[in-house]
Structure 1
Amino acid sequence: MTAFIINRLQASLDALVAAKQYRQIPNLQHHERYVISEDKRLLNIASNDYLGLGGDKQLQSEFLNQLSQLPVDNVPRMSATSSRLLTGNDTQLQALESELQSWYQNAVDKQNLASSKSVLVFNSGYHANIGLLPALTALPIKTIILADKLVHASIIDGIRLSQSKLVSYHRYRHNDYEHLAKFIEQADSSVERIIIVTESIFSMDGDRADLAQLVQLKAKDTRIELYIDEAHAIGILGDTGLGLAEETQTLADIDYLVGTFGKAFASIGAYIMCDEVVKQWLINQMRPLIFSTALPPINHAWTRFILAKMPSLTEQRLHLAQLSTTLSDAIPERYRVSSTQQKAGYNSPIVPYILGDNALTVEKAKQLQAAGFYALPIRPPTVPANTARIRLVMNAALSHEDCQRLIAHL
């Protein structure tokens, strides 16, 4: 690399520093509810470990004890060593997909819904979202993708990878279903397929999509398919933790239900619940699945261990909802997302504290860290310009006293 390129890169990095948008990988140690940063013990309110399972030493000991009871030949391997289509498939992974399918089926049966789904596991939510839309739109069918303005970067990347002469896309205003309906109305008869894409709980604003309203839109046009990313709802919403779709009884109406294990599950990986034919199509077309080494079987064993407990974690979900409501209600209106997006009561564990200015947000994060909280500034381009914020995140390992102490420092 030439000195010219190095100098240009350095100049661009310096500009990021000046704009308070420079990112660095933090040097951290983890200890249950806390992180150790720069020799300070800070309460972690920045993680997506919503149920507090990631730091639960007793849970980890129980899992390791179970492994120690297995015959040596049955202990899950530490690496898959190749892609799933070669030798990366494993009994742990197959069992996980079967158990996820049962989780879904039990939920729909309990709600008397006529639906069945197959399950396909991926290496991460990012792998899922950059691969699903390109695979789904690989058929020579004129398709329109309609995505919420605030969907995750991985979905945006998936949309970009899907562009062709037969595929177009539009971004509708965040949770604005009248705007979405106009795009649907404008789709002429030559359009054979409309895929609506949204998160159920939005990762930065913490608000919810109205799944019931999306289902109503779908009922009016047979071309519509719903792709719902439940990454931030899985584990914390629904009677058994199956997400906002379970809570709103819309499971049977969603064509592509995506969830992840890297947040409330305190594991790694992701999945899609979809029609069996779609699953087989993805196996044959989805590049991140075909060309990635599969996750280690030991990770799938841990995910199965957590999944078995998920329906019984009702107390943790209730405690989390109480903490989240308490914190959300304490945020003054001037620091909220917008008056149109506020709803009474509990939305999610993600509570944005919006300061707008980058420098002010960075300074506020430092103040909270000095007070003993691991709080981080979130700035553009992760969020829209002039909406820099502290992303406050509750988890079930926190106490009501922890929550009140945080509120006092806001």
Structure 2
Amino acid sequence: MILIEQMQQELQELEAKSNLRKLPGILHEGRDVIVNGQRMLNLSSNDYLGLANDIELRRDFLETLTPETFLPTSSSSRLLTGNFTACEQLEQQLATAFGTEAALVFNSGYHANTGILPAVSNARTLILADKLVHASLIDGIRLSAAKSIRYRHNQYDQLERLIEINHTEYERIIIVTESIFSMDGDEADLRELVRLKKKYANVWLYVDEAHAFGVRGDKGLGCAEEQECISDIDFLVGTFGKALASAGAYIVCRKVIREYLVNKMRTFIFTTALPPVIIQWTSFVFTRLPNFRQRREKLQLVSSKLKEVLEHKGYVCPSSSHIIPMITGESSIAVRKAEELQRKGFYALPVRPPTVPEGTSRIRFSLTAEISEEEIVRLTT
């Protein structure tokens, strides 16, 4: 009973700090959610292009299926009997689109980030990770045998000093960053990171494009496409569960890296593969990704509008993307602001420690291409 009492005490402490999390009961109706009987515009979704609500796209996909080809489970890991043709076809699609030697698909971004880094690291590896990388990357670093140092957010002078000091002491150094950061919505300078990497023979670059894939670049391939450095990134990772309205994740890389991960990556080896029907849907949407340019432009337009209004109101807003934080500071203030917005019909959620550092609690607006400029005006008045 002592353990149960400790759990209860910790939960009470979280509640006292306004940091207690609870699973909400949500009904989804298109762009809207219904919570506690109230209909609200969803401003907390990762459906950046609005594809999850595109009934016509869904209908077109369903017409490609038959009872024989609708396979809702893989029933196995890929190394046993779960390596369906659809998965290999998607990986070839990805490699062709990105112009890389190979690609590998995973069950989720969390599987990718917690599996790749431990697989490619050893005790003679140093990981240099941006201070604000996602929790999944932090967990991957912790699971690895590597030593790690977190450099100040987007501070490449410090990163370069760390490389200079350590590059002769380690077999390999891996720089780890997101391209668009999940909480602040700002961006990494991938070209500068590539420049640093190229100065040293034993430095590799790992970039998580979870929030950029589908949204950035002429074809929607992400910031690496936009900054013209795909071929210079050793581990280019992205997810299907956000802009692509599906599930799973990928890496595009050299063929030898793919083969190495198949043999060494525990989160790939020891899990049931994604259902083939999910892989087929991902492939179906990915084929059409270059055609969604207007949606990407619309998303950029409404994002710029919201950032402009928040800054005019005096909020610090570091974002340069569709993820727009309204930083309030204290958790209690963020919770109160979220409740006010929900009463106005906007489902915007507070983000609190430990997801963000103490004193930086915020409302995190996660915009989609379906939102209108008029709704941005109504949100901010």
Q: Same fold (TM over 0.5)?
A: yes
1:76 Cα deviation (Å)? Answer: 3.2
Match of 2:3 in 1: 5
- Is the Cα contact below 8 Å between 2:115 and 2:140 reproduced in 1? yes
- Secondary structure of the residue aligned to 2:51 is coil
- TM-score calculated relative to the size of structure 1: 0.91
Match of 2:197 in 1: 218
1:336 and 2:309 matched: no
- Is the Cα contact below 8 Å between 2:167 and 2:173 reproduced in 1? no
Cα distance in 1, alignment partners of residues 31 and 282 from structure 2: 20
Match of 2:144 in 1: 162
- Secondary structure of the residue aligned to 2:63 is helix
Greater shift in the superposed pair: 54-63 or 178-187: 54-63
1:66 Cα deviation (Å)? Answer: 2.2
- Is the Cα contact below 8 Å between 2:167 and 2:200 reproduced in 1? no
1:141-169 deviations in Å (ceiling 9; x for gaps): x2211000000000001001112xxx311
| Letter in structure 2 aligned against 1:369 | Q
Cα distance in 2, alignment partners of residues 4 and 129 from structure 1: 35
Match of 1:316 in 2: 295
1:61 Cα deviation (Å)? Answer: 1.6
1:78 and 2:43 matched: no
- TM-score calculated relative to the size of structure 2: 0.97
1:194 Cα deviation (Å)? Answer: 1.0
1:151 and 2:133 matched: yes
Match of 2:49 in 1: 51
**After the TM superposition, which residues 278-289 of structure 1 pair with which residues of structure 2 at under 5 Å, given as runs?**
278-289=257-268
1:275-329 deviations in Å (ceiling 9; x for gaps): 1001000000000000000010010011011101101100000000001111111
1:45 Cα deviation (Å)? Answer: 0.4
Cα distance in 1, alignment partners of residues 316 and 97 from structure 2: 35
Greater shift in the superposed pair: 26-35 or 197-206: 26-35
**After the TM superposition, which residues 265-284 of structure 1 pair with which residues of structure 2 at under 5 Å, given as runs?**
265-284=244-263
1:95 Cα deviation (Å)? Answer: 1.0
Match of 1:110 in 2: none
Cα distance in 1, alignment partners of residues 200 and 274 from structure 2: 39
1:371 Cα deviation (Å)? Answer: 0.2
Match of 1:206 in 2: 185
| Letter in structure 2 aligned against 1:215 | V
Match of 1:32 in 2: 30
1:117 Cα deviation (Å)? Answer: 2.7
Cα distance in 1, alignment partners of residues 311 and 302 from structure 2: 17
Question: Number of aligned pairs?
Answer: 380
- Secondary structure of the residue aligned to 2:47 is coil
- Structure 1 unaligned runs (5+)? 106-115
Match of 1:195 in 2: 174
1:182 and 2:180 matched: no
- Is the Cα contact below 8 Å between 2:133 and 2:177 reproduced in 1? yes
Match of 1:290 in 2: 269
- Secondary structure of the residue aligned to 1:266 is coil
Match of 2:340 in 1: 367
1:377 and 2:317 matched: no
1:91 Cα deviation (Å)? Answer: 1.2
Match of 1:358 in 2: 331
1:98-125 deviations in Å (ceiling 9; x for gaps): 11111112xxxxxxxxxx3300000000
1:101 and 2:95 matched: yes
Cα distance change of structure 1 residues 282 and 382 upon mapping to structure 2, 3 Å threshold: same
Match of 1:325 in 2: 304
Cα distance in 1, alignment partners of residues 141 and 369 from structure 2: 34
Cα distance in 1, alignment partners of residues 316 and 324 from structure 2: 9
2:120 paired residue among 122, 127, 136: 136
Cα distance in 2, alignment partners of residues 325 and 303 from structure 1: 29
Cα distance in 1, alignment partners of residues 37 and 59 from structure 2: 27
| Letter in structure 2 aligned against 1:123 | N
Which contiguous aligned blocks of 4+ residues in structure 1 show a shift greater than 6 angstroms? none
1:397 and 2:370 matched: yes
- Is the Cα contact below 8 Å between 1:378 and 1:391 reproduced in 2? yes
| Letter in structure 2 aligned against 1:144 | L
1:335 Cα deviation (Å)? Answer: 2.0
Match of 2:102 in 1: 118
Cα distance in 2, alignment partners of residues 324 and 50 from structure 1: 11
- Is the Cα contact below 8 Å between 1:365 and 1:390 reproduced in 2? yes
1:66 paired residue among 55, 64, 67: 64
| Letter in structure 2 aligned against 1:212 | R
Cα distance in 2, alignment partners of residues 53 and 29 from structure 1: 18
Root mean square deviation, CA, Å: 1.2
Cα distance in 2, alignment partners of residues 349 and 271 from structure 1: 22
- Structure 2 unaligned runs (5+)? none
| Letter in structure 1 aligned against 2:150 | R
Cα distance in 1, alignment partners of residues 80 and 167 from structure 2: 43
Cα distance in 2, alignment partners of residues 13 and 96 from structure 1: 43
- Secondary structure of the residue aligned to 1:119 is strand
- Secondary structure of the residue aligned to 2:39 is strand
Cα distance in 1, alignment partners of residues 327 and 239 from structure 2: 27
- Secondary structure of the residue aligned to 1:366 is helix
Cα distance in 1, alignment partners of residues 373 and 333 from structure 2: 28
Cα distance in 1, alignment partners of residues 339 and 139 from structure 2: 32
1:91 and 2:121 matched: no
1:188 Cα deviation (Å)? Answer: 5.0
